[in-house]
């Protein structure tokens, strides 16, 4: 984490991912940081103020570009170069990849899994993986984009952030079949992070870790859509 904590109110209060290679950092915000969702009933000024504070934190770390998008629970992954400045807000995408230093990529979540991917040679990805995105293989799409840029999957590392746990996530048979390919006689519990972990393992990623946090079990720390929250956490990866 940055040494001057008092100057970084958003990122120092967020949960940092440990064991990151030099020049790469990742965080997940919590309820204590407030919501970053742009589609809630909260006053827009409050939400935009948090985004502004986040950008100020990033600037102090030498990060001058922040990419996010309107998420649609799909598998589109945008690739960003370094030819712009400020906050880039795209449309209809659930993932971001970049190799441009001084760039951060972000997704919003509240039960879905924020997936962080990085290559120690200087490439990062942030993916928003709900059951639809997981069924559509958004993790494979992100790894494919990195591979096309010269960063093969077996040299990448994957971190699955806090999301709803398998014990809490009850789904219907159509969801279970869509994401696992197996028929189900009725409702059951689905561990999306376990499915993502299996997908990552099949790509032989260099390292795979999963946060133990559950957004519904621990609503004191996290926002949960199933728990009735309108707020959204932010999963953020930066290439410093």
* Domain range summary for the chain, segments of one domain joined by +: 5-239
All residues at 6 or more sequence positions from 162 whose CB lies less than 8 Å from its CB, including other chains: 15, 28, 114, 211, 213, 214, 215, 221, 222, 233
Q: Which of 133-142 are b and which e, b meaning 16 or more Cβ less than 10 Å from the residue's Cβ?
A: bbbbebbbbb
pLDDT tens per residue, range 165-209? 999 999 999 999 999 888 888 899 999 999 999 999 999 999 999
pLDDT classification of 92: cutoffs 50, 70, 90: very high
Q: Among candidates 128, 193, 162, 231, which has minimal Cα distance to 16? A: 162
pLDDT above 50 (res 223):
yes
The CATH architecture that domain 5-239 belongs to is: 4-Layer Sandwich (3.60)
pLDDT tens per residue, range 95-140? 999 999 999 999 999 999 999 999 999 999 999 999 999 999 999 9
pLDDT score, position 1: 43
pLDDT classification of 40: cutoffs 50, 70, 90: confident
On average, the pLDDT of the chain sits at 95
**Taking the CA of residue 236 as centre, how many other CA atoms within 13 Å lie in the half-sphere pointing to its CB?**
28
- Tokens read off for 165: 């746990």
Helix (H) or strand (E) holding 143: helix 138-148
pLDDT above 50 (res 6):
no
Cα–Cα distance measured from residue 65 to residue 82, given in angstroms and rounded to the nearest whole number: 8
Helix orientation angle between 138-148 and 192-202, rounded to the nearest 10 degrees:
30
pLDDT score, position 59: 97
pLDDT score, position 94: 98
Helix (H) or strand (E) holding 51: helix 44-60
pLDDT tens per residue, range 45-77? 999 999 999 999 999 999 999 999 999 999 999
């Amino acid at each position: 984490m940055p040494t001057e904590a008092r100057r970084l109110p958003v990122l120092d209060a967020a949960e940092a991912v440990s064991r990151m290679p030099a020049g790469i950092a990742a965080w997940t915000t919590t309820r204590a940081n407030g919501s970053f969702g742009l589609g809630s009933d909260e006053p827009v000024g409050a939400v935009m103020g948090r985004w502004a504070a986040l950008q100020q934190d990033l600037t102090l770390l030498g990060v001058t570009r922040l990419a996010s998008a309107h998420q649609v629970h799909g598998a589109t992954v945008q690739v960003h170069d370094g030819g712009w400045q400020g906050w880039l807000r795209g449309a209809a995408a659930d993932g971001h990849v970049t190799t441009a230093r001084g760039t951060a990529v972000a997704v919003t979540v509240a039960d879905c899994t924020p997936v962080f991917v990085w290559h120690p040679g200087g490439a990062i990805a942030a993916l928003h993986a709900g059951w639809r995105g997981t069924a559509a293989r958004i993790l494979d799409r992100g790894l494919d984009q990195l591979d096309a840029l010269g960063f093969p999957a077996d040299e990448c590392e994957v971190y699955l952030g806090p999301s709803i746990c398998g014990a809490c996530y009850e789904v219907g048979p159509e969801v279970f079949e869509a994401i696992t390919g197996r028929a189900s006689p009725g409702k059951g519990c689905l561990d999306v992070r376990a499915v993502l972990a299996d997908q990552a393992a099949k790509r032989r990623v260099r390292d795979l870790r999963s946060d133990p946090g559950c957004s519904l079990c621990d609503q004191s720390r996290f926002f949960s859509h199933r728990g009735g929250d309108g707020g959204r956490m932010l999963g953020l990866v930066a290439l410093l």
